[in-house]
Amino acid sequence: MKKVLKSFGRYLLLDHLAQGGMAEIFRAWAPSVDGGGRLIVLKCVQPDFGQDVEFLQMFRSEIRVSIGLNHPNIVQLYDFGEVDGRPYIAMELVEGKSLKQLVQQLQQQQTYLPVEFSAYAIEQVAAGLHYAHAYRDRTTGELLNIIHRDISPQNLLIAYTGNVKIIDFGIAKAASNRQNTRAGIIKGKPSYLSPEQISGEVLDGRSDIFCLGTVLWETLTGRKLFAGDSDLAAIRLIDACDKHVKPPSTVNPSVSPELDAITLKALSHNRDKRFATAEEMQRALHRAVYAINSSFDPSDFSAYLHNTFKKDMEREHNELQALNIEARALLLKESLDSIPSMEPSESSSFLIEPHEKEEETEDATLKSRRMSRPKTMGAESTGSREIPSPDGGFKSNAIEIQRPSQKKFQTVTATKHTVEKDSSGAPRVLLLGVLAVAAVVYLGPSFGLKIPFAGSHSTAQAPVQTKTQTQTEPQAPPKPVVPPPQQAATHIAMVKLNLSPSGGPVSVTMNGQAVNPAAPIQVPVGLALTVLIQKDGFKPVTKQVTITNEGDFQIDATLEAQQFGFLSLRSTPSAKIQMKMNDLSWTAETPLKEAKFPPGIYQIRLVNDLLGLEKTLSITILRDKIIQQDVDLTVVK
C-alpha cells in the first residue's frame, strides 16, 4: 500500500490499495465537523480514461445497480460524484482479505480451509446473491433481475469478523441497465464464466449460481477448477464441464458427500439441473455446515481468521494508526494556513488582538472616556460599540469568527467586549430594553404606528435632505436594453435508416415523400413521421416515429421475407454473425433461435474479437425448414 495523503473533493485520500486497468482504489477518510470521520474506500476513474465512453457506461452501471442495495453480504455504496473530471464511488471499507488472498495463504501453508468454514463463507455469498437477484425497485416495485456476472474469489471480501461481502457490480446486468453487451464480447473473468456467458445466451440468476459453484470447488480444494494455459483453454473446459468436473472430495478427502452433491449440482452445464435460486443453494449449504459440525458457531470462523492473519492485522492496525495521525496533522496545517494575516486599523469594524494580550492595561483613550461618563451609559468609539460593566470596567474576550471562503472556512481571531456579571441585574435590564425597542421598530408598522427612523418598516415620509448632507444629484437609471426580435431557430435532426437486411434496391417514403435510404435525411425536431419501407421479396413495413432530439436520430427496421426458412445457430464462444446472400447482408449475434431468412445459400462469418477467433461456413436455408447448426470456434480444422 502506497501512502497518498491528499485531498480529493471532500475526502482525504490515505493510501493506494489497488489499481486496475481504468480505475484506482484508495482508502480514504471522510472528515466530519465534530472531528470524527468515517474510513471508506474510494474507487476513482483514472484521469486518462475519463473520456472512455464504454468504461464510463460500466462505471455508471455499477452506481445504478448498487445504489439501492442494502444487505450484510453486499458492500454498501455510500456516495458517488465527480472531482476534477474524475468520477468516483465511495464504498464501505471491509477490514479483511479477499477470498483469493485467503486461498493463496493456505496454499503457502499447504493446508485447506476447514470444510465447514468453506461452506459457511459461500453460504453468505449465496444469501447476498439471492437478495440481488430478487431485488425490486423501491419506488416502482419493478423486479430488476440483477445478475452479477463476475462472481470470483477476487470479488468476495472476508472481514476479520467472519462476514463475507460481494463487491464490484460494475458489469452486473439489470433491467434498469439498458446497455447491451456487444456481440462477441464476454464480460467476466474467463475461468469463472458460466456456459451461458460463453454461448451468449440470455442470462438469469442461475448463471451466478454456476460461477459460485466454481468458487466453492476452489475454496474446498485450494485449486482453480477451470485452469488452462490460456483463456481459450479455460473456456473449452467450461463448455465441457459435465465431462471434466470431478467431486471436490477427489482432491480434499475431508469434503463431505453433502458438499460434493451441492458443488456438482451448482456446476451442471444444463442450468435447469442447477439450484433454481441462490436461496435454495444457501439453505443447502447451511444444512451441510451443521451436518459437518453440529456445534458450529460463526465466531469460530472469526477466531480462525484472526489466528491466520494475526501478523497482518497488527501491521495494518499500526499503518492505519500512523496514517490517521498524519492525516489529522495535515488537516490542522491546512486549517492554520488558511488564516489570513490582518493588521489592526482604525477603520476596522472590530478590534483584533492576540489572545495573550487579553489582560493588558486597557487603552488610555478608552479609559479616559470611561472615567468621564456615568457608569450606566454606553460608550461609543469610532468604528466600534462597547457596553460597560456595572462597575464601569471593560473586559475583552477573544472569540473566533468563521468566514466561508469557497470550500473551506477561514478563522479570524477578534475581540468581543462582554459585560461582567454581578447581582444587580443591570445587564439584563439593558438587554430587555434593547429587545423592547427592536420589537417596536419591527412590529410597530403592522399595528399602524409611524416610526420615522424605522427605515423600510416606516410609513412616514423620508426626511428632507439638509445642506450638510451630500448634494450629489442622483443619476438617471440606465434604459433597459430591448433585444431585437429574432426568428425562432429551427432544430434539425439527421435521420438515418438502419435496415436489416441491407443491400439491394429498396423504396422508402417519409410522409409520402420519397427519400434516399442510403443518405441521412434532415428532419425538424418534433415532426411525426410515417415511414414506409418496401423491398422485393419482403413484406412492406410501416413505422410511426416522432423525432425527439437534434443530431443523429436512427430508425431501425427489420424486414420479414414473404417466403422464408428458419435458422438456429449456436457458437462456442459467442460471436458476431455476418451473413450474405446475393446482394443482401444481415448482422446478428449468436445464439440465433429459429430466425427467419429468405431461402437461399448463405455465406456466414463468425467473429469473436475478444479471443481473436473467426470461422466461415456456408449454409443453405430451405423454405419452411428449420436448419440447426452448432459451431465450435475453438476447434481448428
Which residues does the annotation mark as catalytic? 150
- Block residue for cell numbers 463468425: 606
Q: Do the bridges between strand 492-500 and strand 551-558 make them parallel or antiparallel, or are there none, so unpaired?
A: parallel
Q: Where are the alpha helices (DSSP H) in 50-114?
A: 53-66, 99-108
Residue type, 38: R
User: Residue 595: enclosing H or E segment and its boundaries?
Assistant: strand 592-597
Answer yes or no: are the C-beta atoms of 214 and 281 closer than 8 Å: no
d(CA 598, CA 605) in angstroms, rounded, equals 18
Asked whether 490 and 501 are in contact (CB, 8 A), the reply is no
DSSP letter for each residue of 264-298: HHHT-SSGGGS-SSHHHHHHHHHHHHHHH-TT--H
CA 115/CA 216 separation, integer angstroms: 10
How distant, in Å, are the alpha carbons of 114, 242, 296, 300, 377 from that of 256?
Answer: 11, 21, 15, 19, 93
Q: Based on C-alpha coordinates, what's the Rg of the chain?
A: 38
The answer to whether the Cα torsion of 50, 53, 58, 64 is positive or negative is positive
Residue 430 neighbours by CB distance under 10 Å: 16
Neighbours of 215 (CB within 10 A): 24
SS3 content of the chain, % helix, strand, coil (to 5): 30, 30, 40
d(CA 529, CA 533): 13
Q: 607 vs 439, 603, 633, CA distance in Å?
A: 83, 13, 9
Q: For residues 27 and 15, is the Cβ–Cβ distance under 8 A?
A: yes
Which residues, other chains included, contact 517 with Cβ-Cβ below 8 Å and sequence gap of 6+?
497, 499, 506, 508, 533
C-alpha cell at 428: 439584563
Q: Are 574 and 634 in contact (CB under 8 A)?
A: no
Q: Say if residue 114 is preceded by a cis peptide, omega within 30 of 0.
A: no
Give one DSSP letter per residue of 119-183, joined into a string: HHHHHHHHHHHHHHHT-B-TTT--B---B-----GGGEEEETTS-EEE---TT-B-TT--PPPPT
* Cα–Cα nearest to 386, from 418, 411, 356: 418
**Which residues contact residue 104 at a Cβ distance below 8 angstroms, ignoring those fewer than 6 apart?**
none
Residue 127 and residue 73 in contact, taking contact as beta carbons nearer than 8 Å:
yes
Other CB atoms within a 10 A radius of the CB of residue 534 amount to 15
The DSSP code sequence of 171-217 is T-B-TT--PPPPTT---S-GGG--HHHHHTPPP-HHHHHHHHHHHHH
Spatial distance between the Cα atoms of 536 and 562, rounded to a whole number of angstroms: 9
